[in-house]
Structure 1
Amino acid sequence: MMASLDSGLNSSDLVQDYFCGGCESRNTYESAEYFCATCTKFLCRKCIDPHDQIYANHSKYGRGETNKWPLTKKMEELLLKCNVHKEEKLKMICQDHSQLCCTDCAFLNHRQCTNVALISESAKNLSTDMQQLSNNLQTIVGELNKFKSKQEASIQSVEESCNEKRQEIKDFRKKLNAALDALENTSLKELDEIRTTMLTSLKKDVDNCIQLGDDLKTLIEAVNGLCDKSKKEIEFIASRKCVDKIQASESYLKKNPVKLQSFIFHANIDIEQYLSKQSSLGKSVDSIHSLRHKMNPNQQLTVKRKSEYIVKMSSDTSQTFSIYGICSTPSDQVIVADYQNKKVKLLDQHYNVSSHCDMSSGPLGICQISSSEVAVTLAGNEVQFISVSNGQLVSGRKISLQHAAYGIAHHEGELYITSGTALYHYNMTGTLVKKLFENARGYLRGTCIFN
């Protein structure tokens, strides 16, 4: 049972397992298998037999009931340790700054504060729901794991996109003569530099998630171990530290929304005519950076051409095709929502159906979540997540709403869904953040679009 905590519980502070008290008194460290609540002692397998012979009626709990065991001394010391002054124990709380303090903290940083109290006094009236606190910790660990998984998927997406654009560079290079070797090396070097920068940032997010997750898991272990209700001070400290860590994790997730990252290579089609004036084959940039800085919200769009394609499949039950939603992937594949046939279909680069997913009801709106995932609204009140894996559509999790779902858009890790008369803001877990707009007399069925 070893873990690390930040913000006062450092990675160098190891939480040790329970040791047998009898063996420890003889300078032998044997792992405890039982806790006697009557004796308040830990016992190993060797010591439990003589104990039971003398104290047959004592209440004892094995490894399967560690929730009834008290905290280890190491865990207790970690919770009591001051975040700033490592050798001091927490004695006070400053309500003005909502901070736990040792005596040094109180003297140095909170002398002017009017609401500083002893923890022993503040804990007397505390009634902490440790189970709810544990649930909150588990929830934020889950959110961190989801964020970590998405960033890991983004790492794969960056690699795939990089390889695709690398091939574009190679293909474009083949149209030129041998004199372009130096320019090709310049472009590839630029691409690799951007790739390194992007991967460094994504891997940092993954590492931060792992660290925060480890910290929260250790606090979960501490909270689950707080079974002795007489230890109000420790419960109070644990509660404060848990709240602080949860707030830090939530703040981190809020400040670091999931971003779809890929590459864009702008080929210079006039390079043959202006070869002597060029310094590279083109320019590779982060697609998010490019869109954010180059998109003009007031730009007028002009339709250059239109084409018709057949998306019929042999398994279709209807000869009528109502394509309500459409989006494209970074690999130039197209995903469409076929309402009448209750299917989401994947089209290849030639607009032939290459894969599909059957839906429980007609799909309506569709939006891209990442380079390999989309979200689809279904007739009724559901949102279905679908991923693209090895050229195949795979149904994922589904969330249910309290209202109808038509249009849907994704922006910086948040979902925006129209109900027909209102626009709602949701997070990625399906929790309603707020209603943004409502017009009871009109209809909001289209998908929201963000710059």
Structure 2
Amino acid sequence: MASNLECSIHSGSDLSFDFSCFICQENDGNTEAEFYCDECSKFYCSKCVEHHNYLYKKHAILNKENISQWPETNVDELEQCQEHKKEKLTGFCEDHSQLICQVCHEHNHKECSHVVLIVDKVKEFQRKEDFKQMSATVDTQHQQLVHLKDSFEENMKSLEISYKKILEELISLRKAINNSLDELEKNTKKDLDIFLATMRTSIKNDIEICTRSIKNITFLKEDSQKRKDKNEEPSFIKYRKCIDQSLKVESVLQEMTIKNERTLMFYPDTTIQQTLSTLSGLGQILDTVQQSQTKKTTESSVTRQNKPTAFSQSDPGNQTSDLTKSGQVSDSVSTSSHQLVQRYKGAVSMPDPIIKVKSSKTYKVDITGFEHKLSGICETAAGELLILDGYNSKLVLLDHTYKIVNQCDLPRQPNSMCRIDSNRVAVTAAFCQIYFIRVSYGLLIIDRTLKLQHECWGIAHHQRKLYITAKDALYRYTVDGRLLSKIYEDNSSRRCTGLKIQFGPGQEQSETIFTPTVSSCAVSPDGERIYATNVVSKQLVTLSRDGTVISTLAQPAQDLCYPIWLPGLHVTDSGQVLLCGLWSETVHQVDRDGRQILAEVVKQHIDVSYPTSVYYSKRTSSMIVGMQEYNEIVVFKTQ
């Protein structure tokens, strides 16, 4: 069959041309055409054109310089080869399941063993049932494509409507903010006007008092000069009046001297600008995807048969048995929650960049005390570093060279810390308390204390919301202490006895307590993922914004085994998840969906022992690790 196709495609030559000489083809030859006669409507090679010109001297001949005026090949678009546009499809290569022309055959399929003519293939194919069903299959697919196209067009229209609506909301929000700022300015101006009016009235009264006093003392002075009474009684009366007036003037002068220093000063409220500086926009723009499946109603013999895929039991994304027992995920999971989890499972995202360290240096944090627990690290917008010492109940401020600038004694033993704006941090402490501490010109100032109705262990912040763990649950609060929701709960808390708990300096005692099953927490930069460590089930739990469990990851036992001390959990500004535990001597990087460990960023480093906190500084491209029992931090420079 292949030899027949070869004979059909090429007769007399192995070469093929876009335009072949008509006379040579008549004589079973194959020569490339160099000329075209418009009157004869034929192509000629350089030899045959001489014979043509001899017979038809008046015919206009077009050479290749005028090839644009040559006619197009008359190949129907359906039968046209996609690679060689001027060639007609004549064969079918069964080895490659591909339609071919004569040029394709010569250049790409000459060595193929199953090449047949299309006319022969059609005779064979017409006997198969699939050929008759192909039309129905194409019709169904055509309808599906039309339906999808219509859906996309409707989606485009809805996107445009959503865009305009969001623009209107932005304008409205900006107007509301402007109105609020105008109201603040109006109130401040009103206060200024009241102060000015009050001071004007006071000064005016003082001027009037001065005027009256000047008038009185002048009168006495002039009267004394006019009268030359020799009688002692009038003299004594004048003397007495002068003394009384002098005492009044002295009192007035003293009072005036004090009031004379009064002035107006303005101290702007820096929290407004600081809050605005921490924001990247007026809100979040979210792209929500509503997945839909197109039901396949046809099958084709030319495609592979679809087989149902069984979920692997070892899939980390399906390890929710412990959470189901705890009550977070019940058997009757809602369709929306299930779809949300499936969306995260099926989402294709860019891989997280692996943090790689290239050098390290150890710095002493010279805190008074025999034992230390550096349980929290964070950074101000200005680049100052804050270190939390849980054992000694201190917050320490370091400068850019990691030297101590100042220290702050905390009333209760702290557990963890997070930054809430450019120069303020929130610290969780024993007895259900949260301290808000401000950094101002090298000073650490406790602005306020928030008292909650439950224990406070881990803490994280995102867009004016606080995420706080409380022994067996994760809560979401406003910054001013208003409870919004309970996001996650695990009631498998266990009792620990005889543990020494230090509630403050000199307040150590043995207590029977419950392990905080839900301990550390962190939030991704976009707020879409919330991370929490569960030290009982030894898992890193990744939640969606509404608390739906996206995945659970069983961590190495040494990372999450210690019952009281919180594992170090940190999310970088780029969304990379870092985790360390007391006994691991390792800092792990986990993928942002919490499904697998990507790398051991630090593994059994000589300077790292009992790590309890980790922080990544984008400003200095360095990772900082705090430890238990050591008043040292290790700063790793990253690549």
Structure (1 or 2) with the greater helix fraction: 1
TM-score normalised according to structure 2 size: 0.26
Q: Whose relative contact order is higher, 1 or 2, with alpha carbons under 8 Å and at least 6 apart?
A: 1
Choose 1 or 2 for highest CA Rg: 2
